[in-house]
Structure 1
């Protein structure tokens, strides 16, 4: 996938501070940038590949696209139920929550159509996919960029740090307790540039092995649309 063909720009990732200066505030800030970039890479991949889907690959492409929106739901639900309520005690999170609502109906329409393609109750139409994607992704990607400015390390360091540490643990537990082991988990792995940031996501070695070798086996046809293989190599669907 050529970078010049991608409709949405990624969020710049700052270099990490030395370990003795790397605190919870910086960790969350960088983690948020990286997971937001995973989503943006996903939207770019859907946009680029939508016109290229070959006959017989419509079901797989629909499943791939729905894995992307499933990650959006899990990510934003965790923010709204755990992180934002805590941060709201010190910072203004209202604009982030308003933006969440702004793209909701458009993304729901996209999901409804993709489920219809999966069930073969509607025929795959590349123009319809592109329009439905643009209707929500334009707003959502802008939100993903905007949100980062509200959670800079400087701002996060102004909140109660004991409460912040607890909120981060609760958020991590939330993410682990939700389904998506064979959809969200592999989606993250094949939409992140592991050569640029090799130690992300910060998960234990056995779980990283599972992610690279097992998680993608449930729906192998989905991941041929992703920009990276599970070993980190670049791939192109249409090549």
Structure 2
């Protein structure tokens, strides 16, 4: 059974400092994914009956959010950074995606077949799928944050350049997300140590809790946080 993976230590500095921001922001995002994967592993052997469908939906949301993040990195964010950092600076992190993304896609395919009634849910098989991608993915998530070292960024960017990159990136990132899945996922898989992430305006946080979460409410019960931002105890995933 995959172990509960520790969250990434948030890099030093201030979220408001643009040289510190990229690594801090990336670590906080990655911790959401780790929270989601840990929750998937914790619940996988226990769900049955009418819990299967919402758990499958939750798991597919976790994996699609990870995909969305990596697609944006490869097609938008890394190119923006490499204009100053130099071509190839982030090539290794792109290559690491190939070591676990195919396994995530296999997991998604199986879950979609379970969702569509073509396969019967099996908790042991679910854990096997998670184990096939999780360790390499977690290693990658840690290493990727290190590439955004504040001292390196300070040598290659001005604060305004980094701010402009973040503004442009967020416009692209928010353009194709599903508010009924991405926002509730972010709420229930947040890191309690970074309650400011994602940096949503208060009205949108309230809308997430009381409106956007309603459509698939049964799915969010599997997150390690409730929709109000309170940590919950996950089932034990000890061997």
Answer yes or no: same fold by TM over 0.5: yes
Q: How big is the shift at 1:25? A: 2.2
Q: Which residue number in structure 1 is paired with residue 28 of structure 2?
A: 34
Q: Distance in 2 between matches of 1:157 and 1:74?
A: 28
**1:57 alignment partner, SS class:** helix
Aligned CA RMSD, in angstroms, stands at 1.9
Whether the 8 Å contact between 1:13 and 1:33 is mirrored in structure 2 is yes
Q: Which residue number in structure 2 is paired with residue 44 of structure 1?
A: 38
Whether the 8 Å contact between 2:28 and 2:194 is mirrored in structure 1 is no
Match of 1:166 among 161, 164, 167: 164
Higher relative contact order (CA 8 A, sep 6+): 2
TM-score (norm 2): 0.90
Q: Distance in 1 between matches of 2:148 and 2:135?
A: 21
Whether the 8 Å contact between 2:12 and 2:20 is mirrored in structure 1 is no
Q: What whole-Å deviation, never above 9, does each CA across 1:177-200 have from its counterpart, x for those lacking one?
A: 012211111101111134x33322
Q: How big is the shift at 1:238? A: 5.5
Whether the 8 Å contact between 1:60 and 1:222 is mirrored in structure 2 is yes
Q: Which residue number in structure 1 is paired with residue 183 of structure 2?
A: 185
Q: Distance in 2 between matches of 1:84 and 1:101?
A: 16
Whether the 8 Å contact between 1:86 and 1:164 is mirrored in structure 2 is no
User: Does 2:114 correspond to 1:117?
Assistant: yes
Superposed, 1:97-136 pairs within 5 Å as 97-136=94-133
Q: Give unpaired runs (5+ residues) of structure 2.
A: none
Q: Give unpaired runs (5+ residues) of structure 1.
A: none
Q: Distance in 2 between matches of 1:107 and 1:77?
A: 13
Superposed, 1:53-64 pairs within 5 Å as 53-64=47-58
Whether the 8 Å contact between 1:62 and 1:114 is mirrored in structure 2 is yes
TM-score (norm 1): 0.90
Whether the 8 Å contact between 1:24 and 1:165 is mirrored in structure 2 is yes
Whether the 8 Å contact between 1:62 and 1:118 is mirrored in structure 2 is yes
Q: Which residue number in structure 2 is paired with residue 82 of structure 1?
A: 76
